[in-house]
């Protein structure tokens, strides 16, 4: 499995506090069946913060050396979780290469937890026009997306991807988030599952248990794709093979009862 979103680098944000925690998180991920993790520290939460950005590659190298010493079989790639703001486009344009996932066109976008900016659609349009593909981080935790799934539908229909947290499907953020995550799955609004791991204790970098829960809703092949071939395509700057057409929540109440996506493009399951 590939964990596309994890705060595993030491001392950069509210994730691992030091290298010992980073190594412990890596051990947990590896034992869970994760082979590659993308380090995605928070950036721009407190305004343009280039200091974290300049440290990501070096911290990744330090962690890779520590994992080799500890004989932990986990590959670490670079990325970031980019906080959405009114200045988003300018910030992204100037630092694009250090913000995207592993040098690809894919860019993790974190919305504030309680709203989605009115101009988000226009900014996403511009990002896509400039060859960047936004990945919306954990939309199930955002109260605006919870109340108005059609907001997410519009962004996904435009070409964005959405990543749900593994912990959301296990009730780790409460029943509202779990129900929202499940409904987004049924509406084909989620294509990726990642841990958003922050520590070796509470928000751990595990995926396997969530995949089992997701499989009950969309079937095993789709669930597995969301932690294997789809994140692999992101890392390799390709097209995720599992990408069923999103269902408009405002026009199809019945769609919430669909258990398996009708359009299934997965070809390369491994
Ligand atoms: Fe995160």
For residue 13, how far is its CA from the centre of ligand 1 (angstroms)?
10
Distance from Cα 101 to the centre of ligand 1, integer Å: 13
What is the pLDDT at residue 265? 40
- Domain contains 269: no
Cα 222 to averaged position of ligand 1 atoms, centre (Å): 23
pLDDT tens per residue across all 270 residues of the chain: 999 999 999 999 999 999 999 999 999 999 999 999 999 999 988 776 668 999 999 999 999 999 999 999 999 999 999 998 878 888 888 899 999 999 999 999 999 888 888 889 999 999 999 999 999 999 999 999 999 999 999 999 999 999 999 999 999 999 999 999 999 999 999 999 999 999 999 899 999 999 999 999 999 999 999 999 999 999 999 999 999 999 999 886 644 444 344 333 443 333
CB 245 within 8 A of CB 258: no
Residue 253 has a pLDDT of: 60
Split into its structural domains, the chain has a count of: 1
Dist. CA 173 → ligand 1 center (Å): 14
The answer to whether residue 72 sits within a structural domain is yes
Total-model pTM: 0.92
Read off φ and ψ for residue 133, nearest 5 degrees. Answer: -115, 110
Its domain, for residue 229, covers 2-257
Q: How far apart are CA 77 and CA 58, in angstroms?
A: 11
Among 171, 120, 119, 161, CA closest to 141: 171
Q: Could you tell me the distance, in angstroms and rounded to a whole number, from the CA of residue 80 to the centre of ligand 1?
A: 9
Helix (H) / strand (E) element for 137: namely strand 133-137
CA of 251 to the centre of ligand 1 (A): 31
Q: Look at residue 266 and tell me if it is in a domain.
A: no
The answer to whether residue 152 sits within a structural domain is yes
> Is 265 part of any domain?
no
From the number of C-beta atoms within 10 Å of its C-beta (0-12, 13-18, 19+), residue 131 rates as exposed
Residue 236: CATH number of its domain: 3.20.20.140
Distances (CA, A) of 109 to 22, 26, 28, 94: 23, 24, 26, 16
Task: Classify residue 270: in a domain, yes or no.
Answer: no
In a domain, 237, yes or no: yes
The answer to the question of residue 263 being in a domain is: no
């Amino acid at each position: 499995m590939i964990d596309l979103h994890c705060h595993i680098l030491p001392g950069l944000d509210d994730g691992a506090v030091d290298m010992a925690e980073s190594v412990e998180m890596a051990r947990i991920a590896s034992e869970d069946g994760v082979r590659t993790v993308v380090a995605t520290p928070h950036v721009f939460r407190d305004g343009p913060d280039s200091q974290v950005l300049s440290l990501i590659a070096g911290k990744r190298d330090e962690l890779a050396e520590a994992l080799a010493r500890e004989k932990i079989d986990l590959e670490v790639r670079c990325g970031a979780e980019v906080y959405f703001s009114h200045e988003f486009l300018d910030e992204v344009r100037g630092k694009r290469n250090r913000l995207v996932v592993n040098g690809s066109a894919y860019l993790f976008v974190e919305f504030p937890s309680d709203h989605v900016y009115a101009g988000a659609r226009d900014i996403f349009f511009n990002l896509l026009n400039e060859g960047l593909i936004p990945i919306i981080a954990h939309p199930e935790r955002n109260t605006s997306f919870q109340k108005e799934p059609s907001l997410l539908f519009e962004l996904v229909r435009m070409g964005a991807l959405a990543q749900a947290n593994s912990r959301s499907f296990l009730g780790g953020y409460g029943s509202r988030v779990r129900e929202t995550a499940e409904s987004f799955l049924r509406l084909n609004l989620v294509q990726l599952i990642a841990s958003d791991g922050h520590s070796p204790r509470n928000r751990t970098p595990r995926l396997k248990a969530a995949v089992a829960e997701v499989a009950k809703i969309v079937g095993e092949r789709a669930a597995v794709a969301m932690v294997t071939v789809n994140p692999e395509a992101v890392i390799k700057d390709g097209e995720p093979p599992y990408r069923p057409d999103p269902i408009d929540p405002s026009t199809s109440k019945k769609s919430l009862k669909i258990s398996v996506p009708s359009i299934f493009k997965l070809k390369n399951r491994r």
